[in-house]
Amino acid sequence: MNDKVSRRQFGKTVAASVSGAVFATAAAAQDEKKSAVPTADDDIRVRLIEQSRGKALTAEQRKTITENIRNNDKQWPEGRAKFDVPDTTEPDFVFVPKRLSRGRTTE
């Protein structure tokens, strides 16, 4: 299923039980008691979303989006600490410039 249902649950449970990549459980426990009231930082990002959509969010939407953003925020610091990505590692995609189709080239 896509997909987010599974991947969010994967983050919490499956990662621990199946693949051995345990990082989300601890992070989730850490922040369990935090309130869902948006912080100033969250608010900036939520406001940017509001601005880009040109429409105010409802209180419920604001709360859920804040939770979503926070979930992402709390997972990455641990991921970064545990898995170092060397500066020389390139992402796995390449941009290939397109040649002129009419053969105007010096090669």
Partner 1 sequence: MIPQHSGPAPNLLDFTAVELGKLIQSRRKRDAGCTSVQLTKLYLSALEEDGKRLNALAELTRDLALQQAEQADREIAAGKIRGPLHGVPYGAKDLLAVKGIPTRWGSPAHKDQVFNYDATVIERLRDAGAVLIGKLAMIELAGGGGYEHAYASITGPCKCPYKLDRWAGGSSSGSGAATGSGAVGFSIGTETWGSITVPSAFCNVSGLRPTYGRVPRYGAMALSWTMDKIGPMARSAEDCAAILEAIAGHDPRDPASAPGKFRMPRKDRNRRFRLGLLPIDYKKNKAEDTEKVFGDALNALKKLGHSVADVKLPDYPYELAAGTIIDVEGASSFENLIRSPRLELLADKAQHTGFMAGLATPGVDYLRSMRIRAMAAPEAVKVFEKVDVLIAPTLLKGAPPIDKSLNDTWEGMGGNGGPGNLLGWPSISIPMGFDKEGLPLGLEIIGAPYEEATILTIAMQFQKETDWHRRRPGAI
- Name which position in 35, 40, 52, 100 contacts partner 1 (CB under 8 A): 52
CB 69 within 8 A of CB 97: no
- Name which position in 35, 40, 72, 102 contacts partner 1 (CB under 8 A): 72
CB 74 within 8 A of CB 36: no
CB 107 within 8 A of CB 55: no
| Helical packing angle, 59-82 and 40-53, nearest 10° | 120
Binding mask 2-41 for partner 1 (x = CB under 8 A): xxxxxxxxxx-xxxxxxxxx-xx-----------------
**Minimal CA–CA distance to 36: which of 74, 77, 81?**
74
Q: Shortest distance, CB of residue 98 to partner 1, whole angstroms?
A: 11
The residues that touch partner 1, with contacts defined as CB under 8 A, are: 1-11, 13-21, 23-24, 45-46, 48-49, 52-55, 57, 60-61, 64-65, 68-69, 72, 75-76, 79-80, 82-83, 85, 89-93
